Amino acid sequence: MKCPYCGHKEDKVVDSRATAEESAIRRRRECLKCGKRFTTYEYIEDVSLLVIKKDGRREPFDRKKILSGIIRACEKRPVSMEKMEDMVLQVERAIQKKSDREVSSSRIGELLMEKLKALDDVAYVRFASVYRQFKDVGQFMVELKDILNKEKRKR
């Protein structure tokens, strides 16, 4: 494993444990050269999924793309990297359980929005604004009013 900080190729595993859903192993590693720690995840290689884009194109499922979108939505929010990675893993597992080898990008987006809504309202609105391609403030307001109404019902 190559250290992301200094590029050294030798490290030691400090901690190893299963993720919440027990579908991956999370390993904390320490570089033997610079001493910095980093986390890696080990997954079972699944049958490759194809994502059907809005324009009909098909491309391989890429969890890194999903994670980068979640990271952008959760920027400066109190959401840990572990929670974001868990969310991506949950969505990936849900897709694999319900589909053969193909899934629409809209299905992935809806699953992600559902998970984000439960996790952080601000991150949800950020993600939804890009995913649903809000054209004006009115569309933002509709989404925000829905969130505010749900908050009022909780009280």
pLDDT tens digits, residue range 84-132?
A: 999 998 888 888 887 678 888 888 988 998 899 888 888 988 888 777 7
Cα–Cα distance measured from residue 20 to residue 83, given in angstroms and rounded to the nearest whole number: 10
Average pLDDT of the segment spanning 21-31: 89
CB-based contacts of 78: which residues, under 8 Å, 6+ apart? Answer: 120
Cα–Cα distance measured from residue 112 to residue 120, given in angstroms and rounded to the nearest whole number: 12
| Global confidence as pTM | 0.61
Question: Which is higher by pLDDT, 19 or 65?
Answer: 65
pLDDT at 15 over 90: yes
pLDDT tens digits, residue range 121-144?
A: 889 888 887 777 767 777 767 777
pLDDT at 5 over 90: yes
Q: What is the DSSP letter of 49?
A: P
Minimal CA–CA distance to 50: which of 117, 130, 127, 105?
105
The mean of the pLDDT values for the chain is 86
Which helix H or strand E contains 30, and what residues bound it?
Answer: strand 24-31
Query: In a 10 Å sphere around its CB, with 0-12 CB exposed, 13-18 middle and 19+ buried, how is residue 70 labelled?
Result: buried
- Grade residue 155 by pLDDT with cuts at 50, 70 and 90: low
8 A C-beta contact, residue 112 and residue 97:
no
- Grade residue 149 by pLDDT with cuts at 50, 70 and 90: confident
Cα–Cα distance measured from residue 28 to residue 77, given in angstroms and rounded to the nearest whole number: 24
pLDDT at 83 over 70: yes
Average pLDDT of the segment spanning 7-16: 95
Sheet holding 102-104, edge to edge: 58-60, 50-52, 102-104
What percent of the chain is modeled with pLDDT above 70? Answer: 92
- Grade residue 46 by pLDDT with cuts at 50, 70 and 90: low
